[in-house]
Amino acid sequence: MRPIIGKAGVALAFLLGVAHAATPLPGPIRVPIRLEHGLPTTQATIGGKPVTLFIDIGNYQVVGLKTAVLARVPVTFTGDAESWRDASGRVFSSRIFHATGLAAGGLAVARFDGNELIGDPGNGDYPQDGLIGFGLLHRYQMVFDEAGGQLRLYPSSAQGVLQAECGSVGGPLRVENGVLVSEVQTDRGPLRVQWDTGASNDVLRPSSIASRVKDADLLRRYTFDRFDVAGQGAAAQTFVMRPFRAPDVDAVLGTGFFARHVVCLDPGHGRVAFRQSKTGA
């Protein structure tokens, strides 16, 4: 009887494996986005009041709103404030508020605490009222399809999202001090990059390649012919050369990269994958 049981066990294991592989993905939460001033932007409401928010996974906040916007949106200030340092090293103090009823496409949040946007984010020349940050989105697997006009959010527990959406199981992704970081191999050596949808440009710190490229600090742009992100090959990548103090990475992948690729980020399991956008950008 043992051979029969063995064959039955193998057959059952095979059937279970097929059933698991064929398990469909749960339907994602879909958030319509469009590029506005180089930032992925969505129409939303907070407490029934319309607001325009950009999606910023490089910002640790849950929601940030400009000071002027806070005067017309139903929020309650908690009396607390939070200090933070921008990329130039300047320190600011931001009021914390409580709000209810955030809706953006299929994304709905009953109650949340947000931050007042001050400094450059609060006085910037972008037209948006504020942002949705990593503080809210970290609980999801995120699929940024900027060319297709969608952010798709899956439960952190969902299986097979990266393979289905980006065609790969992906490579390593780390969360360091609230920043999403991956390793890159280039024709000029290794780099550490941050994934940041709130950056309107792909930015490279000149000092990160100063010892490898002559007169790097005199250049406005630099192109890597080889650019392999988290073990996955990408096309030649061009960066704007600009010094910045924080975060502690060599470069930032912003709108330039996200607009040309569908990018899948799974911070809960530490994986990232991407594919070339079908429609281009």
Q: What parts of the chain have a pLDDT lower than 50?
A: 1-21, 280-281
Q: Which residues contact 214 (CB under 8 A, 6 or more apart)?
A: none
d(CA 175, CA 242): 23
* pLDDT confidence of residue 245: 85
99 and 56 in a common domain: yes
Residue 156 within a domain: no
* pLDDT confidence of residue 10: 44
Q: Which of 105, 137, 169 is the last residue of a domain?
A: 137
Residue 25 within a domain: no
Per the DSSP assignment, residues forming a β-bridge with 36 are 39
Structure tokens at 243: 């010094």
Residue 14 within a domain: no
Structure tokens at 186: 């280039």
Angstrom distances, CA of residue 275 to CA of 11, 38, 41, 93, 164 = 35, 20, 21, 39, 11
Residue 225 within a domain: yes
Q: Is residue 266 within 8 Å of residue 162, measured between CB atoms? A: yes
Q: Which of 70, 103, 137 is the last residue of a domain?
A: 137
189 and 132 in a common domain: no
pTM for the whole structure: 0.88
168 and 133 in a common domain: no
* pLDDT confidence of residue 87: 60
169 and 131 in a common domain: no
* DSSP secondary structure, 231-272, as one string: TEEE--EEEEE----SSSSSEEE-HHHHHHEEEEEETTTTEE
* pLDDT confidence of residue 125: 67
177 and 121 in a common domain: no
236 and 185 in a common domain: yes
Ranges of H-type helices in 117-221? 120-123, 134-137, 161-166
Backbone angles phi, psi at 69, to 5 degrees: -70, -35
d(CA 240, CA 265): 24
Per the DSSP assignment, residues forming a β-bridge with 151 are 31, 144
d(CA 242, CA 239): 9
The DSSP output letter for 180 is E
- Burial of 110: CB neighbours in 10 Å, binned 0-12, 13-18, 19+: exposed
Q: Is residue 252 within 8 Å of residue 196, measured between CB atoms? A: yes
CATH number of the domain bearing residue 169: 2.40.70.10
* pLDDT confidence of residue 276: 94
* pLDDT confidence of residue 204: 98
Domain total in the chain: 2
d(CA 234, CA 148): 19
Give the structural domain span for 58: 30-137
Q: Other CB atoms closer than 10 Å to residue 159's CB: what's the count?
A: 14
208 and 107 in a common domain: no
